[in-house]
């Protein structure tokens, strides 16, 4: 059964909201629990389909898990490596994060190819090549992703700044007795959260937050209690919601250093915001903001996040002048612009990576689709500032990445109904 959002736009958002835990951090932390002796306790975990899906995979492999409120508990002592069928991983891109831990602990990892959003090519080659440099043998075929072999610490040069490939190598290296150096490592906040988690488990990690990371691993890692880092992508989306509805919103639990490039772009954009460092809060004043056209180029962290490209694209429809978007990472990330055009946006798509957005244009309520997690969030933002009622279909994508987004927006005054 299709679940939809029905949103009545034109209402300024007002009030306080607490930013939830990051899905992109929670998934690798859950995967890393495979390496732990004892109980792993993760707090501030978002209640999302992807989180529940990866816990089901761990249960299939023999782990004991529980998820109560926002706390996940995992005991992986009885886990075993066995082929993971498509029914468990076919719609979960994050399941690829089990490659590194399973291979390091058992010498073999086998699963159907992971699924997930369709936002362009997200191949597994970076993972395979990185683990091959630690000694893995690639036994994969067209149907099954299969790596095996005894891993050895060494020097890994990632073929690209892949977040999940970096995380796979970090987890594998943490379990190997000896030192591994990783070059061209991704440095996103959720990667840093995993690095700190591995340190707490007993590994030594140097270069946290950098593109060269050294891991001194240990065959004995212990379970720990860890609080998942806040979701800076959720924070960015709510900031833009306040901006396009000309509201006033205070976000709690925001780490400004996770959003440096994004917040700098907003300042150039004409957004009025200020930080309360003592309370770890960010206040956005959409009423005083006056948006003007700008250019945004997505990049690896600490550059402008690709996952906030679609939300900023919505904001550009309300800015004066011609804005330019450059999507450097994924060729499928601009499909949401066709949905925006249905709502009245003036868009010129130059190619799969570039578009012009001419504003300001009033948006009108329509029936639109959620093409992926971030595109779905963008449709919610567009609906919030549109005239009339918008129906957003396929919101299962949104609910894979945002924890109770509709509830949080309702708490700020939005008229949004989940049906």
Catalytic residue positions, numbered: 117
Task: Write the DSSP symbol of residue 328.
Answer: -
- Residue closest to 382 by CA, chosen among 400, 372, 394, 370: 370
- Residue closest to 47 by CA, chosen among 408, 392, 410: 408
Task: Write the DSSP symbol of residue 304.
Answer: B
CB-CB contact of 315 with 289 (8 Å): no
H/E stretch holding 295: strand 295-297
Task: Write the DSSP symbol of residue 71.
Answer: E
- Token pair for residue 29? 């932390």
Strands of 137-138's sheet in order across: 108-112, 144-148, 137-138
141-147 CB contacts, 8 Å cutoff, 24+ apart: 143/112, 143/113, 144/83, 144/110, 144/111, 144/112, 144/113, 145/96, 145/99, 145/109, 145/110, 145/111, 145/112, 145/113, 145/114, 146/108, 146/109, 146/110, 147/99, 147/103, 147/108, 147/109, 147/110
Angle, helices 99-106/23-32, rounded to nearest 10 degrees: 10
φ and ψ at residue 80, rounded to 5 degrees: -140, 150
φ and ψ at residue 275, rounded to 5 degrees: -105, 140
């Amino acid at each position: 059964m299709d679940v939809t959002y029905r949103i009545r736009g034109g209402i300024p958002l007002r009030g306080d909201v607490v930013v939830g835990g990051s899905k992109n951090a929670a998934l690798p932390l859950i995967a890393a629990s495979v390496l732990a002796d004892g109980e792993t306790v993760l707090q501030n975990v978002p209640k999302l389909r992807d989180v529940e899906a990866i816990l089901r995979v761990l249960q299939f492999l023999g782990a004991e898990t529980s998820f109560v409120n926002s706390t996940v508990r995992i005991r992986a002592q009885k886990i075993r490596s066995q082929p993971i069928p498509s029914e468990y991983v076919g719609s979960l891109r994050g399941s690829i994060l089990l490659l590194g831990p399973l291979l390091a602990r058992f010498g073999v990892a086998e699963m159907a190819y992971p699924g997930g959003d369709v936002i362009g090519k997200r191949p597994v080659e970076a993972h395979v090549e990185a683990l091959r440099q630690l000694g893995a043998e690639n036994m994969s075929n067209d149907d099954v992703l299969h790596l095996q072999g005894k891993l050895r610490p060494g020097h890994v040069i990632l073929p690209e700044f892949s977040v999940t490939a970096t995380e796979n190598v970090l987890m594998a290296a943490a379990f190997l007795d000896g030192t591994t150096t990783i070059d061209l490592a991704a440095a996103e906040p959720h990667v840093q959260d995993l690095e700190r988690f591995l340190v707490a488990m007993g590994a030594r990690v140097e270069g946290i937050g950098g593109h060269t990371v050294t891991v001194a691993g240990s065959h004995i890692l212990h379970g720990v209690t860890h609080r998942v880092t806040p979701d800076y992508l959720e924070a960015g989306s709510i900031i833009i919601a306040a901006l396009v509805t000309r509201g006033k919103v205070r976000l709690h639990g925001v780490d400004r250093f996770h959003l440096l490039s994004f917040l700098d772009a907003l300042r150039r954009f004409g957004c009025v915001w200020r930080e309360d460092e003592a309370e770890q809060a960010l206040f956005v004043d959409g009423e005083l903001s006056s948006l003007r056209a700008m250019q945004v180029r997505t990049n690896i962290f600490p550059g402008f996040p690709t996952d906030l490209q679609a939300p900023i694209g919505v904001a550009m429809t309300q800015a004066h002048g011609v804005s330019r978007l450059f999507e450097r990472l994924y060729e499928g990330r601009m499909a949401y612009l066709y949905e925006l055009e249905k709502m009245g946006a003036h868009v010129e798509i130059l190619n799969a990576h570039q578009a012009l957005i001419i504003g300001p244009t009033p948006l009108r309520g329509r029936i639109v689709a959620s093409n992926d997690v971030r595109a779905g969030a963008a449709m919610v933002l567009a609906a919030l500032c549109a005239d009339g009622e918008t129906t957003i279909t396929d919101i299962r994508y949104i609910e894979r990445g945002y924890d109770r987004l509709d509830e949080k927006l309702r708490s700020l005054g939005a008229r949004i109904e989940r049906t």
